[in-house]
A = this chain, B = another copy of it.
Amino acid sequence: MSDRRVTDQVRIVGSGLLGASIGLALGAKGVDVIVDDASPAARRLAIDYGAGRAPAEGDAPGVIVVAVPPDVTAEVVAAELARFPDALVTDVASVKLAPLAELRERGADLSRYLGSHPMAGRERGGTISARADLFEGRPWILAGHDGISYGRARPLEDLVLDLGAVLIEMDAVEHDRAVALVSHAPQLVASMLAARLDAGTDPALRLAGQGVRDTTRIAASDPALWVQILGANAAAVADVLRPLRDDLDAVLSALEAPEASGSRRTIAEVMAAGNAGVARLPGKHGQAKRFATLVVKIDDKPGELARLLTEIGEEGVNMEDLRLEHSPGAQLGFAEISVVPEAAHALAAALEKRGWALGEEDR
């Protein structure tokens, strides 16, 4: 196809969700994709699935993507660098410092290695979950280092852009600290909080609302994968969790003596620090802009939400976000609709005129 950037052969090692998705997407653009896997059966499945062709004598890939489990990433990258002395090699592991350090120890040719991290996982892995559109609009970090020249990265940038991903440059240290903060620590905290629910009575759990659901949703993630990820980024994750433990110790002391001098202040300060932290999260499209939220009551029957959204469209308003809130035991719910603040007032009036019951939230 005429709009693609990649011109070289691309070799993919590892045919799981990420590897197969990259193969499907590049193949659809007409790239000559070679797919390989330590398991011959897995390789055959990926080829049947359309993720690429089998390796052949005389293959000369320009870019090699290593998409294998984190604990064997560096070993496979080193082998590929040695086997294809002209290729640029990347990996897609979700930590970036550990593979770089291991490659350095192995004496690999770092002038042709550039680590990357596509932030596009799914809860369900494997070749058969692969999608050509998996990376569209998702951040894809390139973790540059001193050993590679600026121009050498170009073929990988082209590949990332052909996949529809959003390119972000960040060094390995900065990357690992960032994902410790916004992904790895939240995962562990959600798991530790969710673990408490197992001791709850059924009536207690029936009182669960949206708050506890949101705070524990990601606790359903796969332990085996996370043990590898967390093990490879242990120091950075510990750096995030250590001050959290200090806060937790202070909060527990305050809760154990709620009337003691300073106890209320301790809790107020932790809550206020939480206010400040959550306000740092950028809004949709990476903007820091805040949206106004309208809350609309929805009867729980087919078509009601579609009707609401159609009518919002008829009012010419673009919805920035949508959240459904349910009531335990009830046959109705609330839709929280985020719109730009300028549109909120007129939209609220229009919806009420159309017969919807609503109230305006401030966030």
Contact = CB atoms under 8 A, between A and B. Distances in A.
Interface of A: 119, 122-124, 129, 131, 133, 136-139, 141, 166, 168, 170, 174, 177-179, 181-183, 185-201, 203-209, 211-224, 226-227, 230-232, 234-235, 237-238, 240-245, 247-249, 251-252, 254-256, 258, 263-264, 267-268, 270-282, 284-286, 297, 300-303, 305-306, 309-310, 312-313, 316-319, 321-324, 326-333, 357, 359, 361-363
* Listed residue (A211, A245, A264) with the most chain B CB atoms within 10 angstroms of its CB: A211
Contacts of A166: 327-330
B209 A182 contact: yes
Contacts of A198: 273, 276-277, 280
A363 B242 CA distance: 32
B278 A197 contact: yes
A210 to B, nearest CB: 8
A73 to B, nearest CB: 16
Contact of A220 (B200, B212, B322, B363): B363
A185 B255 CA distance: 11
A67 B304 CA distance: 34
A190 to B, nearest CB: 5
A189 to B, nearest CB: 5
A256 B238 contact: yes
B281 A192 contact: no
Contacts of A312: 306
A263 B200 contact: no
Contacts of A322: 305, 322, 324
Nearest to A181: B200
B327 A194 contact: no
Contact of A274 (B192, B240, B321): B192
B186 A212 contact: yes
A160 to B, nearest CB: 13
Given A249-B245, A305-B309, A136 B297 contact: yes
Given A231-B264, A245-B249, 6 more contacts: A181-B200, A182-B200, A191-B270, A196-B243, A215-B218, A286-B328
Contacts of A254: 234
B282 A302 contact: no
A278 to B, nearest CB: 4
A300 B310 CA distance: 15
B218 A238 contact: no
Contacts of A321: 324, 326
A280 B212 CA distance: 12
A363 B234 CA distance: 28
Contacts of A220: 274-275, 278-279, 363
Contacts of A357: 133
Contact of A177 (B204, B255, B302): B204
Contacts of A255: 230, 234-235, 237-238, 241
Nearest to A204: B178
Contact of A271 (B209, B227, B270): B227
